[in-house]
Structure 1
């Protein structure tokens, strides 16, 4: 089994203890393999005695996946290296089913991304040989501190005449085994200067393609449109635009309602009463509009307006607005009613939050505001 090396995760596998009659005991799962100098250490979850005979079996499905991703990265980096400013400065292999990444000094253009992907897959079809050599003059300026080159070797992985790179990871023997390389148009800025480009290769890429086609078909049925990606995107964009317009109208209606509630509260305050305003779907913007509508009409009034928002069994804000003394008195009573309310404020406005509304608390606040 191989330990973690060259950016490639460690192998998994099993140890089969062999009895004296050469029959095998139940296999021992190995999922922790570490390199220590030139030694590969397998950590067994159950004890073995010195001299015990075992047979190692590598989880080849995992090994094959890692080889496809790793060789795919070498091929991708070799192709990207032919572009100005796209030399690979780092890479990482994603977990099973996830995408990998390469870090480059700048963001490739969409046209470059398409060209790079096409070139990679063309080279896969050309089935270039992948060879491993151990030349004496191999570049070794990045060897680990605990690696003794005089006792070990430095491997150079070659993809035809296209690329020659030192690497200690496991690789495929021909590009055809990479099967497919897919680049994501999603990128990410790292270290404030580099661009992280995501990709996947081999069976992962094939599965991703299959899942993506199924997803597009499902979306097209939901959207009642054709399967062509451009048509699906256009329909989704129209739906998003329509949704955004509806949300805008909803927000405007809610603000109109807030002004109406503010006018109602103002009338109650001027009549010497308290006011209760509650909206399950309210927000701080709704509350602030109510407060601004009430405005300075609280001056000289002994009452307060209590504004609450949020559904029962969910969190929500509370604002108490009025003259300072009236607000302080109301907040003292509210804290006795709503046990887990937290907040603060000074002067004419106190603002708090309830982590979970209870129906009886809502009713009690409403009753308090009606006094």
Structure 2
């Protein structure tokens, strides 16, 4: 659909990016007071990689664990015991973004005045302030942390290479979502209900009230990339928050009940979109090429239904294209053809596999009938009962189905012959190469329900076969190495005890 371009973000955030539009709003300068979320350095200058600031407070964390993306799953699992102490450090300012607006938190590094490095594994917003979760290394201790992060202590904050790659990925996907949602709403009149910034490198998605046709997806992608090629600029407008306003417009955007920052940020894509958001965004959509995946996932809920439209941009798009090309090239090599011929060659292989499977099924049906005839021939000529066992070596994944086909064919032949003689047959099948984890399947069938049940119970008790059945059939599985001189002998002994 769309071609890709190398991501080349600007190295410096333009001075016009962050705009305080309230005349009475100012960034706090008291080094012992934290700057509120909405005015943090990471939100004022998203390309800033390091910063020198001061500590405000430090305490041992009250949280048993910290999630890497700041989200809770639908099924909450017990938190694992922490492997090292976790501290909560509040700074005057920070370039480490705390989770918010659907965007996971950054990770980074704090440098104390003695030059020691402290790992920030998560950042969260408590009320209106950013809290850094610092995981202590084995050589670090809590007492030193309290001293080095005491109020007023000088602290260096940096994203590091890993942190900046994470930040760049989050910015690319978050800004792309704003662009995509704006295009969907203005061009196709489709509102974005929610979105998810998934873990790298999976595609992110927007949740829509209805599905899109391939033509609509192509239109949205073309329009978004037209704006990208124009290099539309992005800036942020910050103002004091009206305390009477409880809900903002936009996809999954609202004021959390525990938000006490008093700052409203509006992210503006020049001539395209204005949307309240606390996340970090690139100062331009230049080279932020957007790729929409044509497959959509339908969701059904008790009250409504929606679809997910997946998209890629920035480093994720490049990673996706690279891995896809590698897979395609590898598949073409396996199929001994050029990349353009892969779909045709795969279709050919699938058709040949279907024919081969059908041939195997036909041959197995023929073989099952032959084995059934062989078993039926063992019945006494002048009446009497038939009690026997047959063991096979079969590496098929459907060995039990084959044994069932034998039993079906035998019962059919027995009925056709008009015989009223009672019978009890036990079929078993093991793989050719057996280990302690191998599975041998066992099928018991007969003319008497009670006899079949009795043999099944005996197999459970004496051979630890797991299984069950109803009426004239019982099936089970034996785990381990099946030997005729051992398990086979035990089965023979069980059948010896059967009396009609």
The bucket for the TM-score relative to the shorter chain is 0.7 to 0.9
How do 1:123-162 and structure 2 match up within 5 A?
A: 123-135=227-239, 141=247, 142-148=254-260, 151-162=261-272
- The match for 2:9 is none
Secondary structure of 1:259's partner? Answer: helix
Equivalence for 1:245: 355
Q: For residues 481 and 326 of structure 2, what CA distance do their matches in structure 1 show?
A: 44
CA distance in 1, matches of 2:113, 2:239: 38
Q: 1:255–1:289: 8 Å Cα contact kept in structure 2?
A: yes
Structure 2 runs not aligned, ≥5 long: 1-95, 137-141, 248-253
- The partner residue of 2:403 within 287, 302, 310 is 287
Shift of 1:234: 1.9
1:244 to partner: Cα distance: 1.8
- Distance in structure 2 (CA, Å) of the matches to 1:267 and 1:367: 25
Aligned residue among 476, 483, 492 for 1:352: 476
CA distance in 1, matches of 2:188, 2:100: 29
Q: Of the candidates 427, 451, 459, which is equivalent to residue 307 of structure 1?
A: 427
Gaps of 5+ in 1: none
Deviation at 1:334, TM superposition (A): 2.9
Partner of 2:327: 215
Provide TM-score, normalisation by structure 2: 0.66
CA displacement at 1:337 relative to structure 2: 4.5
The answer on 1:255 being equivalent to 2:368 is no
Q: Following superposition of structure 1 onto structure 2, how do residues 1-371 of structure 1 map, counting pairs within 5 Å?
A: 1-19=96-114, 24-25=115-116, 27-46=117-136, 47=142, 48-49=145-146, 50-51=150-151, 52-58=153-159, 59-84=163-188, 86-135=190-239, 141=247, 142-148=254-260, 151-178=261-288, 180-192=289-301, 193-228=305-340, 231-270=341-380, 272-278=386-392, 279-281=394-396, 282-295=398-411, 297=414, 300-301=420-421, 303-311=423-431, 312=434, 313-324=437-448, 326-339=451-464, 341-354=465-478, 356-360=479-483, 364-365=487-488, 368=491
- The alignment partner of 1:268 has SS state of coil
Quote the Cα distance in structure 1 between the aligned partners of 2:311 and 2:446: 59
Q: 1:185 to 1:314 in 2, by over 3 A?
A: farther
**Deviations along 1:136-188, whole A, 9 cap, x unmatched?**
6887512000113xx5211111111111111110000000152x222222321
Q: What do residues 206-260 of structure 1 show as CA deviations (whole Å, max 9, x unaligned)?
A: 12112222222222222222222xx321221221122122122222222222222
Using structure 1 for the length normalisation, give the TM-score: 0.87
How far the C-alpha of 1:323 sits from its partner, in A, is: 3.3
Query: In the TM superposition, what is the alpha-carbon distance from 1:82 to its structure 2 partner?
Result: 2.8
Q: Distance in 1 between matches of 2:399 and 2:334?
A: 32
Q: Provide closer, same or farther for how the CA distance between residues 224 and 115 of structure 1 changes in structure 2, counting only shifts above 3 A.
A: farther
Decide whether the 8 Å contact of 2:240 with 2:262 is kept in 1. Answer: no
1:41-94 residue CA offsets vs partner (Å, 9 max, x unmatched): 112223321234321112212111110110011111111223445321111011
Do the aligned residues in 2 keep the contact of 1:277 with 1:305 (CA within 8 Å)? no
Q: 1 CA distance for matches of 2:339 and 2:472?
A: 59
Tell me which protein shows more helix as a share of its residues: 1
